[in-house]
Structure 1
Amino acid sequence: MLYKLNLEHILFLDIETVPQKPDFGQLDENTQELWAQKTQYQRKEEFTPEEFYERAGIWAEFGKIICISVGYFTLKGDSRNFRVTSFHGEETELLKQFKQLLKDHFNQAKHLLCAHNGKEFDFPYIARRMVIQGINLPYKLDLFGKKPWEVPHLDTMELWKFGDYKHYTSLKLMAHVLGVPSPKEDMDGSMVREVYYQDNDLDRIISYCELDVVTTAQVFLRLRNEALLEEQEIKRV
Protein backbone atom coordinates (compact mmCIF):
# COMPACT_ATOMS: atom_id res chain seq x y z
CA MET A 1 0.00 0.00 0.00
CA LEU A 2 3.07 2.23 -0.14
CA TYR A 3 1.88 3.87 -3.35
CA LYS A 4 -1.28 5.09 -1.61
CA LEU A 5 0.65 7.40 0.70
CA ASN A 6 0.53 11.09 -0.17
CA LEU A 7 4.12 12.23 -0.77
CA GLU A 8 3.31 15.68 0.62
CA HIS A 9 2.55 14.09 4.00
CA ILE A 10 6.08 12.67 4.43
CA LEU A 11 9.08 14.44 5.96
CA PHE A 12 12.35 12.80 4.87
CA LEU A 13 15.30 13.35 7.18
CA ASP A 14 18.85 12.46 8.06
CA ILE A 15 21.11 13.42 10.96
CA GLU A 16 24.86 13.78 11.43
CA THR A 17 26.39 13.18 14.82
CA VAL A 18 29.80 13.50 16.48
CA PRO A 19 31.31 12.66 19.89
CA GLN A 20 30.45 15.25 22.54
CA LYS A 21 34.12 16.13 23.00
CA PRO A 22 36.93 16.21 20.41
CA ASP A 23 39.08 13.81 22.46
CA PHE A 24 38.61 11.13 25.09
CA GLY A 25 40.92 13.00 27.46
CA GLN A 26 38.47 15.90 27.67
CA LEU A 27 35.83 13.71 29.34
CA ASP A 28 35.58 13.68 33.12
CA GLU A 29 36.66 10.48 34.85
CA ASN A 30 33.13 9.28 35.50
CA THR A 31 32.13 9.65 31.84
CA GLN A 32 35.33 7.90 30.76
CA GLU A 33 34.48 4.94 33.00
CA LEU A 34 30.88 4.82 31.76
CA TRP A 35 32.13 4.92 28.17
CA ALA A 36 34.48 2.00 28.88
CA GLN A 37 31.60 0.01 30.37
CA LYS A 38 29.15 0.87 27.60
CA THR A 39 31.49 -0.18 24.79
CA GLN A 40 33.14 -3.19 26.40
CA TYR A 41 31.31 -5.68 24.17
CA GLN A 42 31.99 -3.74 20.96
CA ARG A 43 35.66 -3.11 21.75
CA LYS A 44 36.49 -6.55 23.11
CA GLU A 45 40.28 -6.82 23.29
CA GLU A 46 40.98 -4.92 20.10
CA PHE A 47 40.65 -1.30 21.25
CA THR A 48 41.14 0.69 24.43
CA PRO A 49 38.26 2.99 25.45
CA GLU A 50 40.35 5.95 24.28
CA GLU A 51 41.07 4.41 20.87
CA PHE A 52 37.38 3.57 20.43
CA TYR A 53 36.18 7.06 21.34
CA GLU A 54 36.22 8.29 17.75
CA ARG A 55 33.03 6.24 17.31
CA ALA A 56 31.23 7.87 20.26
CA GLY A 57 28.92 9.83 17.96
CA ILE A 58 26.93 6.65 17.34
CA TRP A 59 25.63 6.61 20.94
CA ALA A 60 23.22 9.36 22.00
CA GLU A 61 24.57 9.20 25.56
CA PHE A 62 28.07 10.14 24.39
CA GLY A 63 27.44 11.98 21.13
CA LYS A 64 25.53 14.99 19.88
CA ILE A 65 23.67 16.08 16.75
CA ILE A 66 25.32 18.75 14.62
CA CYS A 67 22.97 18.68 11.63
CA ILE A 68 19.42 17.58 10.83
CA SER A 69 18.57 17.81 7.14
CA VAL A 70 14.99 17.44 5.97
CA GLY A 71 13.21 17.24 2.64
CA TYR A 72 9.56 17.29 1.59
CA PHE A 73 7.57 17.15 -1.63
CA THR A 74 5.35 19.91 -2.96
CA LEU A 75 3.00 18.82 -5.72
CA LYS A 76 0.93 21.06 -7.97
CA GLY A 77 -0.68 19.48 -11.00
CA ASP A 78 2.09 17.83 -13.00
CA SER A 79 4.73 19.91 -11.20
CA ARG A 80 6.79 18.12 -8.53
CA ASN A 81 9.40 19.74 -6.31
CA PHE A 82 11.48 18.37 -3.44
CA ARG A 83 12.53 21.08 -1.01
CA VAL A 84 15.59 20.46 1.18
CA THR A 85 16.75 22.45 4.18
CA SER A 86 18.97 21.91 7.21
CA PHE A 87 19.14 22.76 10.90
CA HIS A 88 22.70 22.97 12.16
CA GLY A 89 25.01 24.42 14.76
CA GLU A 90 24.44 24.36 18.53
CA GLU A 91 22.47 21.22 19.40
CA THR A 92 19.79 22.62 21.68
CA GLU A 93 18.86 25.30 19.17
CA LEU A 94 18.76 23.01 16.13
CA LEU A 95 16.59 20.53 18.05
CA LYS A 96 14.17 23.31 18.95
CA GLN A 97 14.04 24.45 15.33
CA PHE A 98 13.37 20.91 14.14
CA LYS A 99 10.63 20.51 16.75
CA GLN A 100 9.05 23.77 15.58
CA LEU A 101 9.00 22.48 11.99
CA LEU A 102 7.14 19.37 13.14
CA LYS A 103 4.73 21.46 15.18
CA ASP A 104 3.99 23.91 12.37
CA HIS A 105 3.87 21.63 9.32
CA PHE A 106 3.94 17.91 10.22
CA ASN A 107 1.73 17.63 13.29
CA GLN A 108 -1.31 15.77 11.98
CA ALA A 109 -2.07 12.05 12.13
CA LYS A 110 -1.57 11.76 8.36
CA HIS A 111 2.01 13.04 8.55
CA LEU A 112 4.94 10.62 8.61
CA LEU A 113 8.70 10.81 9.19
CA CYS A 114 10.98 8.80 6.89
CA ALA A 115 14.69 7.99 7.18
CA HIS A 116 17.01 5.16 6.19
CA ASN A 117 17.58 3.01 9.28
CA GLY A 118 15.60 5.71 11.05
CA LYS A 119 13.84 3.37 13.46
CA GLU A 120 17.16 2.08 14.78
CA PHE A 121 19.13 5.32 14.67
CA ASP A 122 17.76 8.73 13.62
CA PHE A 123 14.38 8.75 15.40
CA PRO A 124 15.52 7.37 18.79
CA TYR A 125 18.74 9.43 18.67
CA ILE A 126 16.82 12.69 18.18
CA ALA A 127 14.37 11.75 20.94
CA ARG A 128 17.13 10.87 23.40
CA ARG A 129 19.05 14.07 22.71
CA MET A 130 15.86 16.11 23.20
CA VAL A 131 15.30 14.49 26.58
CA ILE A 132 18.94 15.08 27.55
CA GLN A 133 18.66 18.73 26.51
CA GLY A 134 15.41 19.21 28.45
CA ILE A 135 13.16 19.57 25.40
CA ASN A 136 9.66 18.10 25.54
CA LEU A 137 9.22 15.49 22.85
CA PRO A 138 7.05 16.41 19.86
CA TYR A 139 4.14 14.09 19.16
CA LYS A 140 5.87 12.47 16.19
CA LEU A 141 8.75 11.25 18.40
CA ASP A 142 6.83 10.40 21.57
CA LEU A 143 6.02 6.71 21.10
CA PHE A 144 4.80 5.96 24.62
CA GLY A 145 1.45 4.15 24.54
CA LYS A 146 1.34 3.98 20.74
CA LYS A 147 0.47 0.70 19.07
CA PRO A 148 2.89 -0.44 16.33
CA TRP A 149 0.54 0.66 13.56
CA GLU A 150 0.18 4.08 15.18
CA VAL A 151 3.90 4.89 15.06
CA PRO A 152 4.26 7.63 12.39
CA HIS A 153 7.65 6.45 11.12
CA LEU A 154 8.77 5.03 7.80
CA ASP A 155 12.16 3.40 7.32
CA THR A 156 13.46 2.67 3.82
CA MET A 157 15.77 -0.02 5.15
CA GLU A 158 12.86 -1.74 6.91
CA LEU A 159 10.74 -1.49 3.76
CA TRP A 160 13.55 -3.28 1.90
CA LYS A 161 13.64 -6.12 4.45
CA PHE A 162 10.20 -7.47 3.45
CA GLY A 163 9.96 -9.18 6.84
CA ASP A 164 13.59 -10.37 7.03
CA TYR A 165 14.72 -9.13 10.45
CA LYS A 166 18.36 -10.10 9.92
CA HIS A 167 18.96 -8.08 6.79
CA TYR A 168 20.94 -4.83 6.85
CA THR A 169 21.39 -2.81 3.68
CA SER A 170 23.14 0.55 3.53
CA LEU A 171 21.53 3.50 1.79
CA LYS A 172 24.40 3.55 -0.68
CA LEU A 173 23.85 -0.10 -1.64
CA MET A 174 20.08 0.32 -1.94
CA ALA A 175 20.55 3.34 -4.19
CA HIS A 176 22.98 1.38 -6.33
CA VAL A 177 20.80 -1.70 -6.86
CA LEU A 178 17.70 0.44 -7.48
CA GLY A 179 19.43 2.54 -10.10
CA VAL A 180 19.43 5.80 -8.17
CA PRO A 181 22.22 8.02 -9.54
CA SER A 182 24.96 8.34 -6.96
CA PRO A 183 25.90 11.96 -6.24
CA LYS A 184 29.57 12.83 -6.22
CA GLU A 185 30.42 12.78 -2.52
CA ASP A 186 33.77 13.85 -1.08
CA MET A 187 33.21 12.18 2.30
CA ASP A 188 31.39 9.39 4.11
CA GLY A 189 29.92 8.93 7.57
CA SER A 190 33.20 7.78 9.11
CA MET A 191 34.76 11.16 8.27
CA VAL A 192 32.17 13.41 9.96
CA ARG A 193 34.03 13.65 13.30
CA GLU A 194 37.29 14.62 11.62
CA VAL A 195 35.67 17.14 9.28
CA TYR A 196 33.82 18.71 12.23
CA TYR A 197 36.52 18.84 14.91
CA GLN A 198 39.70 19.04 12.84
CA ASP A 199 38.67 20.78 9.63
CA ASN A 200 35.90 22.92 11.20
CA ASP A 201 33.98 22.50 7.93
CA LEU A 202 30.32 22.29 8.92
CA ASP A 203 29.17 23.34 5.44
CA ARG A 204 30.73 20.19 3.99
CA ILE A 205 28.85 18.06 6.52
CA ILE A 206 25.57 19.84 5.76
CA SER A 207 25.98 19.15 2.03
CA TYR A 208 26.68 15.49 2.76
CA CYS A 209 23.63 15.24 5.04
CA GLU A 210 21.35 16.86 2.45
CA LEU A 211 22.58 14.45 -0.23
CA ASP A 212 21.51 11.55 1.98
CA VAL A 213 18.04 13.07 2.38
CA VAL A 214 17.67 13.38 -1.39
CA THR A 215 18.92 9.81 -1.87
CA THR A 216 16.43 8.51 0.74
CA ALA A 217 13.59 10.23 -1.12
CA GLN A 218 14.82 8.78 -4.41
CA VAL A 219 14.94 5.27 -2.94
CA PHE A 220 11.41 5.77 -1.59
CA LEU A 221 10.21 6.75 -5.07
CA ARG A 222 11.79 3.61 -6.53
CA LEU A 223 10.07 1.48 -3.89
CA ARG A 224 6.81 2.97 -5.21
CA ASN A 225 7.96 2.37 -8.80
CA GLU A 226 7.81 6.09 -9.58
CA ALA A 227 10.06 8.30 -11.65
CA LEU A 228 13.16 9.61 -9.91
CA LEU A 229 13.61 13.28 -9.16
CA GLU A 230 15.40 15.34 -11.78
CA GLU A 231 17.99 17.83 -10.59
CA GLN A 232 15.79 20.78 -11.48
CA GLU A 233 13.04 19.41 -9.21
CA ILE A 234 15.30 19.59 -6.14
CA LYS A 235 15.18 22.97 -4.38
CA ARG A 236 17.63 23.76 -1.55
CA VAL A 237 16.29 26.44 0.78
Structure 2
Amino acid sequence: MINKLNLEDILFLDIETVPETNHFSDLDKTKQELWELKSKYQRADISAEDFYERAGIWAEFGKIVCISVGYFKFQGDIRTFRVTSFYGEEVKILNDFKNLILSHFSQTKHLLCAHNGKEFDFPYIARRMIIQNIELPYKLNLFGKKPWEVPHLDTMDLWKFGDYKNYTSLKLLTNVLGIPSPKDDIDGSEVCRVYYEDNNIDRIVIYCEKDTIAVAQIFLRLRGDSILDDSEITHI
Protein backbone atom coordinates (compact mmCIF):
# COMPACT_ATOMS: atom_id res chain seq x y z
CA MET A 1 0.00 0.00 0.00
CA ILE A 2 2.64 2.58 1.01
CA ASN A 3 4.64 1.64 -2.10
CA LYS A 4 1.84 3.15 -4.20
CA LEU A 5 2.07 6.52 -2.48
CA ASN A 6 3.82 9.33 -4.30
CA LEU A 7 6.67 10.48 -2.09
CA GLU A 8 6.23 14.06 -3.30
CA ASP A 9 2.75 14.08 -1.74
CA ILE A 10 4.02 13.49 1.80
CA LEU A 11 5.14 16.14 4.28
CA PHE A 12 7.45 14.60 6.89
CA LEU A 13 7.74 16.42 10.19
CA ASP A 14 8.91 16.47 13.78
CA ILE A 15 8.27 18.89 16.64
CA GLU A 16 10.19 19.92 19.73
CA THR A 17 8.35 21.09 22.84
CA VAL A 18 9.21 22.54 26.24
CA PRO A 19 7.25 23.53 29.38
CA GLU A 20 5.39 26.80 28.89
CA THR A 21 7.56 28.49 31.53
CA ASN A 22 11.09 27.87 32.70
CA HIS A 23 10.15 27.14 36.31
CA PHE A 24 7.13 25.70 38.08
CA SER A 25 7.11 28.80 40.28
CA ASP A 26 6.52 30.96 37.17
CA LEU A 27 3.03 29.46 36.81
CA ASP A 28 0.12 31.14 38.54
CA LYS A 29 -1.40 29.35 41.52
CA THR A 30 -4.30 27.89 39.57
CA LYS A 31 -2.01 26.45 36.89
CA GLN A 32 0.28 25.01 39.56
CA GLU A 33 -2.67 23.22 41.16
CA LEU A 34 -3.84 21.95 37.79
CA TRP A 35 -0.34 20.63 37.05
CA GLU A 36 -0.27 18.82 40.38
CA LEU A 37 -3.54 17.10 39.49
CA LYS A 38 -2.56 16.36 35.90
CA SER A 39 0.79 14.81 36.80
CA LYS A 40 -0.32 13.03 39.97
CA TYR A 41 -0.21 9.48 38.64
CA GLN A 42 2.86 9.91 36.42
CA ARG A 43 5.22 11.41 38.99
CA ALA A 44 4.68 8.92 41.87
CA ASP A 45 6.82 10.20 44.77
CA ILE A 46 8.35 13.09 42.80
CA SER A 47 7.05 16.54 43.69
CA ALA A 48 5.00 18.45 41.14
CA GLU A 49 7.71 21.10 41.01
CA ASP A 50 10.52 18.63 40.34
CA PHE A 51 8.41 16.83 37.75
CA TYR A 52 7.62 20.08 35.92
CA GLU A 53 10.67 19.78 33.63
CA ARG A 54 8.68 17.09 31.78
CA ALA A 55 5.61 19.29 31.32
CA GLY A 56 6.47 19.91 27.68
CA ILE A 57 4.91 16.61 26.61
CA TRP A 58 1.44 17.90 27.52
CA ALA A 59 -0.01 20.53 25.19
CA GLU A 60 -1.91 22.12 28.08
CA PHE A 61 1.32 22.84 29.96
CA GLY A 62 3.88 23.08 27.15
CA LYS A 63 4.58 24.90 23.93
CA ILE A 64 6.18 24.19 20.57
CA VAL A 65 9.60 25.73 20.00
CA CYS A 66 10.38 24.14 16.62
CA ILE A 67 8.60 22.34 13.79
CA SER A 68 10.89 20.83 11.16
CA VAL A 69 9.50 19.58 7.86
CA GLY A 70 10.90 17.71 4.90
CA TYR A 71 9.61 16.75 1.47
CA PHE A 72 10.82 14.94 -1.62
CA LYS A 73 11.37 16.44 -5.05
CA PHE A 74 12.17 14.42 -8.16
CA GLN A 75 13.74 15.53 -11.42
CA GLY A 76 13.80 12.41 -13.53
CA ASP A 77 15.74 9.81 -11.56
CA ILE A 78 17.33 12.43 -9.32
CA ARG A 79 15.71 12.83 -5.93
CA THR A 80 16.28 15.44 -3.25
CA PHE A 81 14.88 15.74 0.23
CA ARG A 82 14.39 19.34 1.26
CA VAL A 83 14.34 20.21 4.95
CA THR A 84 13.37 23.45 6.65
CA SER A 85 12.29 24.57 10.11
CA PHE A 86 9.95 27.01 11.79
CA TYR A 87 11.04 28.42 15.16
CA GLY A 88 10.72 31.54 17.29
CA GLU A 89 7.48 32.59 18.95
CA GLU A 90 4.94 29.79 19.02
CA VAL A 91 2.19 31.72 17.26
CA LYS A 92 4.53 32.42 14.35
CA ILE A 93 5.70 28.79 14.25
CA LEU A 94 2.12 27.54 14.07
CA ASN A 95 1.02 30.09 11.47
CA ASP A 96 4.06 29.45 9.27
CA PHE A 97 3.44 25.71 9.44
CA LYS A 98 -0.23 26.19 8.68
CA ASN A 99 0.57 28.42 5.70
CA LEU A 100 2.91 25.75 4.30
CA ILE A 101 0.15 23.16 4.52
CA LEU A 102 -2.42 25.46 2.93
CA SER A 103 -0.15 26.53 0.09
CA HIS A 104 1.57 23.24 -0.78
CA PHE A 105 0.00 20.26 1.02
CA SER A 106 -3.74 20.94 1.13
CA GLN A 107 -5.00 18.60 -1.59
CA THR A 108 -6.72 15.27 -0.90
CA LYS A 109 -3.63 13.37 -2.07
CA HIS A 110 -1.36 15.06 0.46
CA LEU A 111 -0.40 13.35 3.72
CA LEU A 112 1.45 14.29 6.90
CA CYS A 113 3.96 11.79 8.33
CA ALA A 114 5.73 11.67 11.72
CA HIS A 115 7.04 9.05 14.13
CA ASN A 116 4.42 8.53 16.84
CA GLY A 117 2.67 11.42 15.13
CA LYS A 118 -0.85 10.13 15.76
CA GLU A 119 -0.22 10.02 19.50
CA PHE A 120 1.95 13.11 19.85
CA ASP A 121 2.91 15.48 17.01
CA PHE A 122 -0.44 15.86 15.22
CA PRO A 123 -2.70 16.25 18.29
CA TYR A 124 -0.12 18.46 20.01
CA ILE A 125 0.02 20.87 17.06
CA ALA A 126 -3.77 20.91 16.81
CA ARG A 127 -4.24 21.58 20.52
CA ARG A 128 -1.68 24.38 20.54
CA MET A 129 -3.38 25.98 17.52
CA ILE A 130 -6.70 25.97 19.32
CA ILE A 131 -5.09 27.38 22.49
CA GLN A 132 -3.48 30.12 20.38
CA ASN A 133 -6.79 30.89 18.60
CA ILE A 134 -5.54 29.66 15.23
CA GLU A 135 -8.12 28.00 13.01
CA LEU A 136 -7.16 24.41 12.28
CA PRO A 137 -6.19 23.58 8.69
CA TYR A 138 -8.15 20.73 7.15
CA LYS A 139 -5.20 18.33 7.49
CA LEU A 140 -5.29 18.67 11.29
CA ASN A 141 -9.03 18.98 11.82
CA LEU A 142 -10.14 15.44 12.61
CA PHE A 143 -13.61 16.23 13.93
CA GLY A 144 -16.12 13.89 12.28
CA LYS A 145 -13.53 12.11 10.13
CA LYS A 146 -13.59 8.34 9.79
CA PRO A 147 -10.26 6.55 10.44
CA TRP A 148 -9.62 6.00 6.74
CA GLU A 149 -10.23 9.69 6.04
CA VAL A 150 -7.47 10.89 8.37
CA PRO A 151 -4.61 12.20 6.18
CA HIS A 152 -1.84 11.10 8.54
CA LEU A 153 0.93 8.52 8.33
CA ASP A 154 2.84 7.32 11.37
CA THR A 155 6.08 5.37 10.99
CA MET A 156 5.70 3.89 14.47
CA ASP A 157 2.17 2.83 13.64
CA LEU A 158 3.35 1.26 10.38
CA TRP A 159 6.07 -0.64 12.27
CA LYS A 160 3.50 -2.08 14.71
CA PHE A 161 1.87 -4.22 12.00
CA GLY A 162 -1.25 -4.38 14.15
CA ASP A 163 0.61 -4.98 17.44
CA TYR A 164 -0.88 -2.08 19.38
CA LYS A 165 0.93 -2.83 22.63
CA ASN A 166 4.26 -2.21 20.95
CA TYR A 167 6.21 1.06 21.31
CA THR A 168 9.40 1.53 19.31
CA SER A 169 11.41 4.71 19.64
CA LEU A 170 12.85 6.56 16.68
CA LYS A 171 16.36 5.81 17.91
CA LEU A 172 15.71 2.06 18.20
CA LEU A 173 14.00 1.83 14.82
CA THR A 174 16.80 3.64 12.98
CA ASN A 175 19.26 1.29 14.64
CA VAL A 176 17.54 -1.97 13.67
CA LEU A 177 16.91 -0.71 10.12
CA GLY A 178 20.54 0.29 9.59
CA ILE A 179 19.83 4.01 9.35
CA PRO A 180 22.41 6.50 10.67
CA SER A 181 21.17 7.58 14.11
CA PRO A 182 19.90 11.16 14.46
CA LYS A 183 20.58 11.07 18.22
CA ASP A 184 24.23 12.11 18.11
CA ASP A 185 23.91 15.34 20.09
CA ILE A 186 21.03 15.98 22.49
CA ASP A 187 17.95 13.88 23.19
CA GLY A 188 14.39 14.83 24.04
CA SER A 189 15.05 15.04 27.77
CA GLU A 190 17.63 17.79 27.20
CA VAL A 191 15.57 20.10 24.97
CA CYS A 192 14.12 22.01 27.92
CA ARG A 193 17.56 22.74 29.35
CA VAL A 194 19.03 23.70 25.98
CA TYR A 195 16.10 26.05 25.35
CA TYR A 196 15.78 27.78 28.71
CA GLU A 197 19.28 27.56 30.21
CA ASP A 198 21.58 27.49 27.18
CA ASN A 199 19.25 29.66 25.05
CA ASN A 200 20.45 27.65 22.05
CA ILE A 201 17.54 27.30 19.64
CA ASP A 202 19.93 26.56 16.76
CA ARG A 203 20.99 23.34 18.44
CA ILE A 204 17.35 22.34 18.89
CA VAL A 205 16.60 23.09 15.23
CA ILE A 206 19.47 20.85 14.09
CA TYR A 207 18.21 18.08 16.38
CA CYS A 208 14.64 18.46 15.10
CA GLU A 209 15.73 18.41 11.46
CA LYS A 210 17.76 15.24 12.01
CA ASP A 211 14.66 13.56 13.44
CA THR A 212 12.62 14.67 10.43
CA ILE A 213 15.20 13.17 8.09
CA ALA A 214 15.15 9.96 10.17
CA VAL A 215 11.37 9.70 9.77
CA ALA A 216 11.75 9.94 6.00
CA GLN A 217 14.55 7.34 6.05
CA ILE A 218 12.38 4.91 8.02
CA PHE A 219 9.52 5.42 5.57
CA LEU A 220 11.85 4.65 2.67
CA ARG A 221 13.03 1.44 4.37
CA LEU A 222 9.44 0.37 5.02
CA ARG A 223 8.78 0.77 1.30
CA GLY A 224 11.89 -1.18 0.38
CA ASP A 225 13.52 1.91 -1.16
CA SER A 226 17.15 2.92 -0.71
CA ILE A 227 17.76 5.44 2.05
CA LEU A 228 18.97 8.96 1.40
CA ASP A 229 22.65 9.82 1.36
CA ASP A 230 23.92 13.22 2.46
CA SER A 231 24.19 14.50 -1.11
CA GLU A 232 20.42 14.11 -1.56
CA ILE A 233 19.51 16.19 1.49
CA THR A 234 19.15 19.96 1.17
CA HIS A 235 18.54 22.37 4.03
CA ILE A 236 16.55 25.43 2.99
Q: Does the alignment reach a TM-score above 0.5?
A: yes
Distance 1:184 1:151, change over 3 A: closer
The offset of 1:184, in angstroms, is: 6.3
Are the structure 2 counterparts of residues 34 and 183 from structure 1 closer, same or farther at C-alpha, using a change threshold of 3 Å? closer
Q: Whole-Å Cα distance in 2 between the matches of residues 214 and 186 of structure 1?
A: 15
Instruction: Name the residue aligned to 1:93.
Output: 92
Query: Superposed, which structure 2 residues align to 1:2-151 within 5 Å?
Result: 2-44=2-44, 46-151=45-150
Give the gaps of 5 or more residues in structure 2: none
Contact 2:113–2:154 at 8 Å: present in 1 too? yes
DSSP 3-state at the match of 1:110: coil
Pair 1:216-2:215 in alignment: yes
Aligned residues: 236
SS in 2 for 1:130: helix
CA distance in structure 1 between the aligned counterparts of 2:93 and 2:215, rounded to whole angstroms: 21
Q: What is the TM-score normalised by the length of structure 2?
A: 0.99
Secondary structure of the corresponding residue to residue 186 of structure 1: coil
Structure 1 stretches of 5 or more lacking a match? none
Large movers: runs of 4+ above 6 Å: none
Instruction: Give the Cα–Cα distance (whole angstroms) in 2 for the partners of residues 103 and 169 of structure 1.
Output: 31
Superposed CA offset, 1:128-156 (max 9, x none) = 00000000000000001111000000000
Query: What secondary structure does 2:14 align onto?
Result: strand
Q: Take 2:183 and 2:56, find their aligned partners in 1: how far apart are those partners?
A: 24
3-state secondary structure, aligned to 1:140: helix
Residue deviations 1:17-75, cap 9 Å, x none? 0000000001000000000000111012x201001000000000000000000000001
Measured in 2, the distance between the counterparts of 1:154 and 1:184 equals 22
Q: Deviations over 1:160-217 (max 9, x none)?
A: 0000110000011000001112246211010000000000000000000000000000
- CA–CA distance in structure 2, aligned partners of residues 186 and 127 of structure 1: 28
Report Cα offsets for 1:78-111 as digits up to 9, x if no partner.
Answer: 0000000000010001100000000000000000
Work out the CA distance in 1 between the residues paired with 2:181 and 2:152: 25
Partner amino acid, structure 2, of 1:220: F
Letter in 2 for 1:38: K
Distance 1:133 1:184 in 2: 31
Q: Is contact 2:115–2:156 with CA below 8 Å preserved after alignment?
A: yes
Q: Whole-Å Cα distance in 1 between the matches of residues 82 and 17 of structure 2?
A: 22
Give 1:175-214 correspondences, 5 Å limit: 175-183=174-182, 185-214=184-213
Normalising to structure 1: TM-score of the pair? 0.99
1-structure distance, mates of 2:171, 2:21: 29
Matched to 1:157, the amino acid is M
